[in-house]
């Protein structure tokens, strides 16, 4: 196992130009609390805006057996982050 692997994009899973141990102050496209974006996803050429990334803890995913209920929880989380 490599000690300093290449970071993968949290949206598209492609390799980025950064390694795991590269300091976040010197990165472009790092989303605190979520991870690294590749330049394409960061620039988001198609929509010219950043996608919203919502963090869902693993326990919530594993302990919510109904996909429809989990989707509702994610949507409610989104609305809470928007203050709606």
Grade residue 48 by pLDDT with cuts at 50, 70 and 90.
low
Report the distance separating Cα 73 and Cα 26, nearest Å: 35
Give the pLDDT score at 49.
59
pLDDT tier, 6 (very low <50, low <70, confident <90, very high otherwise): very high
Q: Under a CB-based contact definition with an 8 Å cutoff, are residues 6 and 19 in contact? A: yes
């Amino acid at each position: 196992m490599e000690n300093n692997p290449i970071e993968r994009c949290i949206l598209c899973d492609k390799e980025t130009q950064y390694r795991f141990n590269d300091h976040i102050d010197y990165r472009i496209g790092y989303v605190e609390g979520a991870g690294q974006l590749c330049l394409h996803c960061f620039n988001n050429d198609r929509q010219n805006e950043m996608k919203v990334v919502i963090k869902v803890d693993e326990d919530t995913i594993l302990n919510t057996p109904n996909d429809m209920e989990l989707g509702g929880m994610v949507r409610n989380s989104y609305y809470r982050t928007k203050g709606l």
